[in-house]
Structure formats: C-alpha cells, structure tokens
Amino acid sequence: MRLPEGVEWALHCTWLLTLARDGDALPARRLAEFYGLPEAYLAKLLKALVRAGVLSATSGPRGGFRLARPPEAITVAQVVEAVEGQSPLFHCMEIRQRGPVPLTGAACRKPCGIAKVMHRAERAWRKELAATTVADLVETSGIGAVTRVSTWLATLPGAS
C-alpha cells in the first residue's frame, strides 16, 4: 500500500503558497511548471484543497490560488485529509459477524481488539500530522529551498 502521490504534491504546493502569500495568487499552471507536474491533475488536487477550505481560488487573469488561512492555522493533517478524503486507513469489515457461527448482537457493540489496535495506530499517525503546521514547515526549510523559490518568483511576469 502507498499513499497517493498527490498528497506530496499538495503539501509542497501549500508550502510554496505560504512563501508567496504576500504576492499575487499563483495559478495551477505556474505551480505545475515549478515542480514539473501535470497541470490538469494538479489543478484537480488544488480544487480539493479549496473545497476543504485550505486554499482560496480566484478566477480570471492574474487569478490563481492562495492560502485561505494563515499558515499557522493549517496543519499537515488538514492538507492530507483534503486530498485523501476523511476515510480512515483501516475500516473494519466485521468479518467476525460472518461465517457459519456469526458473532452478533451485544458482543459486537464494542470493536474487536484488532480494530482497536488499528484505530489507535491511526490516531497516532494523524496526531503527528496534526502536530505540524505549514508555518512550521516553512521555518524548518533549508535556506536553499527558500532562495530557490524566491529566485523563481522573481522571474514571473507579474513580479513586483
């Protein structure tokens, strides 16, 4: 099993938009160009981020995407959930209720031990993702990564 690659793209783009939040909005065309990604599919992901309230979109010339909230209020978990949907990694199929001797009734009110462990692990995973904000990502970015973005932003047509 593997997390969709789009999660990584969404995180990188959100990080980039944080660095550029004082300037104009960046269209999907530019973001895809910067990271060498397929434009149309990246637009699909950014759309999901807009629906989740992480980004805001502007149509028309000089339009594009920008952060909908300050980066301190955007966690990595929220970006992941925006792309992935909020479906849990583990969904118990209740196979204990199947077969010739099904276990049903009051015995199944509580999840089984396997589901408990999987859910506990998933909570630990999400907790770590929620503990880091996009602002934290920017702060811990290497100086090389930041200057790389600044240099590229300066080459854009609408650079101030």
Partner DNA sequence: GAGTATTTACTCGGATACTCGCTGTCCGAGTAGGGCCGG
Partner DNA sequence: CCGGCCCTACTCGGACAGCGAGTATCCGAGTAAATACTC
The contact set with its own copies (CB under 8 A) reads 1-5, 7-9, 11-12, 15, 33-37, 76, 84, 87-93, 95-96, 98-101, 103, 107, 110, 112-114, 116-118, 120-122, 124-129, 132, 136-137, 140-142, 144-145, 148, 151-152
Nearest distance from residue 2's CB to DNA, in Å? 7
| Least distance (Å) between residue 106 CB and its own copies | 8
Instruction: Give the count of alpha carbons within 13 A of 145, CB side only.
Output: 12
Q: What whole-number distance in Å separates Cα of residue 137 and Cα of residue 130?
A: 12
* Of 69 and 127, CB closest to its own copies: 127
Q: Minimum distance between the CB of residue 39 and its own copies, rounded to whole angstroms?
A: 12
CA nearest to 86, candidates 115, 140, 48: 48
Number of residues in contact with DNA, rule: CB under 7 A? 28
Bridge partners (DSSP) listed for residue 26: 65
Q: Which stretch binds DNA (CB under 7 A): 58-66, 67-75, 106-114, 121-129?
A: 58-66
> Distance between terminal CA atoms of the chain?
45
* β-bridge mates for residue 57, sequence order: 65
Q: Does 6 bind DNA (CB under 7 A)?
A: yes
How far is 133 from 119, CA to CA, in rounded Å? 23
Task: Give the C-alpha distances (Å, rounded to integers) separating 39 from 28, 33, 119.
Answer: 6, 8, 36
Residues that bind DNA (CB under 7 A): 1-2, 4-6, 27-30, 38, 40-41, 43-44, 46-47, 50-51, 57-65, 84
